[in-house]
Amino acid sequence: MIRFWYKQFPQYPPDHSDYWRIRLIEHSLLITTSYFLILTLINLFYFEGYQYALLDGFGLLTSLGIYSRFRKTGHVKITSWAVTIMVASLIMLFVISTKGHSHSLFWATLIPPFSFFLIGRKWGTFISCLTFSVCALLVYLQTQNPQPVTFGTGSLFNVIEVCIAQILLLRYYEKTRFSAYKKLALRNIEIQKMAETDKLTGLYNREKLDVVLDKLLTIPAANTDTVHPPRSAEGKTPLSPVAHSSVIDNVTYSNTIPPLLKPSSSLQYPISVAIIDIDHFKRINDNHGHLVGDHVLYELAQLLQSQMRNDDLLVRWGGEEFVVVLPNTTSTDAIELTERLRRYIATQNIQGMALTISVGVAQYTIKDSAYSLLGRADKALYLAKAQGRNRVAVA
Ligand SMILES: Nc1nc2c(ncn2[C@@H]2O[C@H](COP(=O)(O)OP(=O)(O)OP(=O)(O)O)[C@@H](O)[C@H]2O)c(=O)[nH]1
């Protein structure tokens, strides 16, 4: 029903830092406008107190004026100040007019959360201290003319209303904190993904490989309760890169890494790596240009990815080199698997060309670090190249 009151500001989307501030401004001005409107009408027609009606009418116009200006300009900072001053003055006027009776001072407790939310820490502290001191002084002066203070119905209403207002304000704080946290968490995932993804091929990059190998090769024996049986090279489950990325957790690989390997049982739960290198890739660049070379790299990456099994991790190592981490795979299975991959690539038409790849395979041993394991696979690749390319070699 009151939807017309709220305006969408496209420049302040829900993840903008001022989004909840704007919501509080809109709600506050709706409440003060309604409040002044009702008081003006009551004073005008019921009590016939024209002086009060005039004051309330002034409040009504101020509240409406601030809001219409805000709708026009969308200026959050100025409006925040205007609303804070208006609300603080309103509370002060209320405390003065009630002379502190009926526990009206309780309303002053709303000023700190309100002003901190709208105008920040520094000015929020200043306005809170100032208005609270003024209110406290006024109430203190009243106590010089002692009158019995009772907790009557008026007090009860004041306490209830202030409590409701505090709850609503705290909801804003929590919503703001939550949306800021959510935004940060999403950004973190995006940044992490960017940091570990190769831009050209969409595969994981070398950074990711280092993290994964580090984790795989240092999983302590105590953490490996469940054990996956070693698989053969036959267990291929083709996966698209998109499907693959959902298998591998966005933030840490550890959530999805099965406890495949521990250094002390490297023979029982083997792991192999393969380095794949395109043969004579330089010629493609030289003959067809770097852009075509880039397309070739992209298409080859998709083809390789389509042949990976669920737990295999394919990354672009750099240039025209790719690395596959093959958990639960012996070097014999790794040779079989990469040999099949090599034959498959040789039959494909990539950018109108027939390509071949050479592969170097190495199986993890207890003495290996990630560095030495990749070093041995690289040596095997060198061997495959030296033996005439388009072949798989093992170290
Ligand atoms: N288009 C393109 N080319 C790249 C990229 N990264 C590296 N290269 C090129 O890859 C080529 C690699 O050449 P070499 O290391 O001589 O290897 P090769 O020609 O494949 O020869 P062999 O590996 O011995 O069979 C170089 O020409 C690099 O410029 C890239 O991101 N895009």
Residue 205 contacts residue 196 (beta carbons within 8 Å): yes
Of 158-172, 231-245, 325-339, highest mean pLDDT: 325-339
Task: For residue 290, give the ligand 1 atom closest to its CA.
Answer: 1
Could you tell me which residue, 368 or 256, shows the higher pLDDT?
Answer: 368
Q: In the 3-class helix/strand/coil scheme, how is 195-254 assigned residue by residue? A: HCECCCCCCECHHHHHHHHHHHHHCCHHHCCCCCCCCCCCCCCCCCHHHHHHHCCCCCHH
Q: Which ranges of the chain would DSSP assign to H, the alpha helix? A: 19-41, 50-73, 76-97, 111-143, 153-195, 206-218, 241-247, 281-288, 290-306, 331-346, 370-386
Pocket lining: 281 vs ligand 1, CB cutoff 6 Å: yes
- Looking at the DSSP bridge assignments, the partners of residue 318 are 321
Residues found in the chain: 395
Residue ending a domain, among 192, 217, 249, is 192
Q: In the 3-class helix/strand/coil scheme, how is 49-92 assigned residue by residue? A: CHHHHHHHHHHHHHHHHHHHHHHHHCCHHHHHHHHHHHHHHHHH
For the chain, the domain total comes to 2
Same domain? For 186 and 219 the reply is: no
Alpha-carbon Rg for the chain, nearest whole angstrom, is 35
224 pLDDT higher than 50: no
Residue 110 contacts residue 83 (beta carbons within 8 Å): no
pLDDT of amino acid 1? 54
In a domain, 197, yes or no: no
pTM across the whole model: 0.65
Q: How close is the Cα of 243 to the center of ligand 1, in Å?
A: 29
Same domain? For 72 and 216 the reply is: no
Alpha-carbon distance 353 to 292, whole Å?
11
Summarised one tens digit per residue, pLDDT across range 74-83 is: 999 999 999 9
Same domain? For 139 and 261 the reply is: no
Pocket lining: 198 vs ligand 1, CB cutoff 6 Å: no
Alpha-carbon distance 323 to 315, whole Å?
5
Task: For residue 358, give the ligand 1 atom closest to its CA.
Answer: 25
- Ligand 1 site-directed mutation target among 282, 299, 381, 387, most atoms within 8 Å of CB: 282
In a domain, 124, yes or no: yes
Query: Stretch 180-203: mean pLDDT, rounded?
Result: 93
In a domain, 137, yes or no: yes
Same domain? For 216 and 238 the reply is: yes
Pocket lining: 290 vs ligand 1, CB cutoff 6 Å: yes
Residue 345 contacts residue 378 (beta carbons within 8 Å): no
pLDDT of amino acid 377? 98
Alpha carbon distances (Å) from 197 to 25, 322, 370: 42, 13, 20
Task: For residue 292, give the ligand 1 atom closest to its CA.
Answer: 1
Q: How close is the Cα of 325 to the center of ligand 1, in Å?
A: 22
- Ligand 1 site-directed mutation target among 205, 278, 285, most atoms within 8 Å of CB: 285
Determine the 3-state secondary structure of 100 from DSSP: coil
Could you tell me which residue, 383 or 51, shows the higher pLDDT?
Answer: 383
Give which of 345, 336, 387 is closest to 363, Cα–Cα.
336
Alpha-carbon distance 165 to 168, whole Å?
5
Q: How close is the Cα of 277 to the center of ligand 1, in Å?
A: 9
Q: How close is the Cα of 287 to the center of ligand 1, in Å?
A: 12
Q: How close is the Cα of 320 to the center of ligand 1, in Å?
A: 6
Pocket lining: 7 vs ligand 1, CB cutoff 6 Å: no
| CATH number where 212 lies | 3.30.70.270
In a domain, 298, yes or no: yes
Pocket lining: 293 vs ligand 1, CB cutoff 6 Å: yes
Residue whose Cα lies nearest atom 18 of ligand 1: it is: 280
Residue 263 contacts residue 218 (beta carbons within 8 Å): yes
Task: For residue 389, give the ligand 1 atom closest to its CA.
Answer: 25
Query: Stretch 142-155: mean pLDDT, rounded?
Result: 73
Domain that holds residue 244: 206-394
Pocket lining: 289 vs ligand 1, CB cutoff 6 Å: no
Alpha-carbon distance 335 to 233, whole Å?
9
Task: For residue 279, give the ligand 1 atom closest to its CA.
Answer: 25
Query: Stretch 196-205: mean pLDDT, rounded?
Result: 96
- Ligand 1 site-directed mutation target among 298, 320, 378, 385, most atoms within 8 Å of CB: 320
Determine the 3-state secondary structure of 312 from DSSP: coil
Same domain? For 103 and 218 the reply is: no
What is the percent of the chain with per-residue pLDDT over 90, rounded to a whole number?
A: 54
Same domain? For 218 and 363 the reply is: yes
In a domain, 246, yes or no: yes
Give which of 56, 71, 162 is closest to 114, Cα–Cα.
162
pLDDT of amino acid 251? 31
Residue 320 contacts residue 211 (beta carbons within 8 Å): no
Same domain? For 88 and 137 the reply is: yes
Give which of 358, 366, 363, 357 is closest to 376, Cα–Cα.
363
Same domain? For 311 and 231 the reply is: yes
Give which of 301, 282, 284 is closest to 353, Cα–Cα.
284
Average pLDDT of the residues of the chain:
84
Tokens 């100025």 belong to 78
Alpha-carbon distance 145 to 9, whole Å?
52
In a domain, 104, yes or no: yes
User: What backbone phi and psi angles, to 5 degrees, belong to 86?
Assistant: -65, -45
In a domain, 214, yes or no: yes
**What's the start-to-end Cα distance of the chain, in Å?**
75
Same domain? For 229 and 118 the reply is: no
In a domain, 200, yes or no: no
Pocket lining: 277 vs ligand 1, CB cutoff 6 Å: yes
User: What backbone phi and psi angles, to 5 degrees, belong to 311?
Assistant: -95, -5
Same domain? For 178 and 284 the reply is: no
Same domain? For 18 and 115 the reply is: yes
Pocket lining: 78 vs ligand 1, CB cutoff 6 Å: no
What is the Cβ-side half-sphere exposure of residue 62, based on CA atoms within 13 angstroms?
Answer: 18
- Ligand 1 site-directed mutation target among 200, 276, 281, most atoms within 8 Å of CB: 281
What is the percent of the chain with per-residue pLDDT over 70, rounded to a whole number?
A: 86
What is the Cβ-side half-sphere exposure of residue 150, based on CA atoms within 13 angstroms?
Answer: 4
Same domain? For 296 and 183 the reply is: no
